[in-house]
Amino acid sequence: MSSESRSKSHTPSRKSRPKPTLPPMSLFSAIQVILTWLVVLVAAYFSFLALLAIPFFQNQVIYLHSVTLTWFKDVSIPEQWGFLRNQVSPFTLTTPDQVTLHAWHILPLELYKKHEEELLSEPQGISSDITKRLSFKLLRDDPDALLVIYLHGAAGTLASGWRPPSYRAMSSGAPDRIHTVAIDYRGFGSSTGSPSEHGLLTDALTLVEWALRDAGIPPERIVVFGQSIGTAVGISLAHHLATRPDPILFAGLVLVAPFADVELLTATYRVAGTVPLLGPLSPFPRLLAFFNRFIVSKWPSKDNLAAMVRHCENMASSGLKYHVTIIHAQDDYDIPWSHSDQLFWHAVSASRPHGVSFEELEEEKEQTKKVMGPAGWVVEYQTERGILREEIATWGLHDRIMSYPIVSLAILRAFGSQGQEEAGTSVKGT
């Protein structure tokens, strides 16, 4: 055998060469890196939770008022968001604790058309005295005028996101009669102060006082609309006024994307639909309860709504009736629509002398709810003292749904509820 042939016979083929293997230390290093990152993430998350225990940072997360979303834009010029010249009148309100609130009064389109020339001749911008503006006089002097008090959600200003389109939706059912007034709460946009649970209620009460006293609009011609955290403000407002010695009940309360209370919200809420707050602690109830103890703004909407309904049911006959509509989209990634189920259950249970369990009410709803095909479903519960309605839409996300016809119709239905029987499928009160 030649040396050349022996060399070939001892040269291993490519197929027979052993494959390189990961040294044990490399595998150990990879596991070590993964564990290190897990420890870092857990430490960062608990550091985040520690910050949330501080009221200042907690408010920033709950209200997101520093995230204006209208940067470099002057909210005193509403035309930037597609409104006609002077269709919106910016003005300010002063609260009892001397906080200045920025507000918009939005005219319905048909009414604007009737008075277009006069409106065009008025100066633009924020008004130092809203009572001198034509838009205010059209609201105050019309005995048939209707008013939506608009309470927006967390983050942004009254001009951000889907809020401007939703103002148009408010009046679309009666474009010659339905006015809308929206405010930026304290700490939001151009308003002064810092947000708090008591502070936002004070802001809403200030707006109601303006509507009742300055604009002269009686409660039966007012619907309170709230979205997201605005639903908590609206429920707190309605509860506060309904339980006074001289109770005030509005024509209706329309709640879009509500939450049951902040403690339940923190277990499910995702900032911008992605970043969870206390969701990772949900499998550990005691740990979740521990961190919830540090929450300052409780916003107990389910309890406040139940207390309002119970008070109205037990109220001496006065002709006053409550009308509450709860609307939620199934594809809401910020606040799950299960919160609306909880809110509706607490309200219905409060309207019955002996209450009702969640499971029992769900069975009733399955038998009586009206399925709207791909649009979703609706269920309504009536008593002699009021109406509770839950509407679950298939689509609409968290904010976009505000501009949908489902909200326009809910506003119109609420205005028409006084002394009228609602159409549709109902669960009769017992």
pLDDT value of position 419: 38
Query: In sequence order, what E strands does 146-260 have?
Result: 146-151, 178-183, 222-227, 252-256
Give a yes or no: residue 3 inside a domain.
no
pLDDT value of position 236: 99
Residues 187, 43 within the same domain: no
SS3 320: coil
Q: Report the chain's C-alpha Rg in angstroms.
A: 28
Q: End of a domain among 243, 276, 293?
A: 293
pLDDT value of position 275: 61
Q: Please report, for residues 277, 398, 408, the alpha-carbon distance to residue 274 in angstroms, rounded to integers and kept in the order given.
A: 10, 13, 29
| Sequence letter at residue 248 | I
Give a yes or no: residue 97 inside a domain.
yes
Residues 283, 313 within the same domain: no
Residue 315, C-beta contacts closer than 8 angstroms, at least 6 positions apart: 247, 385
Give a yes or no: residue 7 inside a domain.
no
pLDDT value of position 11: 52
Residues 105, 182 within the same domain: yes
pLDDT value of position 59: 84
Residues 53, 88 within the same domain: no
| Residue 90 phi, psi (nearest 5) | -75, 140
Within 13 A of 179's CA, how many CA atoms are on the CB side? Answer: 27
SS3 316: coil
Residues 277, 301 within the same domain: no
* Number of domains making up the chain: 2
pLDDT value of position 14: 53
Residue position matching structure tokens 């290093």: 29
Residues 106, 121 within the same domain: yes
pLDDT value of position 329: 99
Residues 307, 248 within the same domain: yes
pLDDT value of position 181: 99
pLDDT along the chain (430 residues), means of 10: 50 57 66 78 72 78 91 94 98 98 98 98 93 98 98 97 97 96 98 97 99 98 98 99 95 98 80 64 75 85 98 84 98 95 98 97 97 97 96 98 98 78 43
DSSP H or E run through 328: strand 322-329
Q: End of a domain among 244, 275, 293?
A: 293
Domain ranges, residue 51: 25-63+262-293
Give a yes or no: residue 75 inside a domain.
yes
pLDDT value of position 326: 99
Residue 381, C-beta contacts closer than 8 angstroms, at least 6 positions apart: 348, 351, 387, 388, 389, 426, 427, 428, 429
DSSP H or E run through 264: helix 262-268
Residues 209, 279 within the same domain: no
The CATH number linked to 306 is 3.40.50.1820
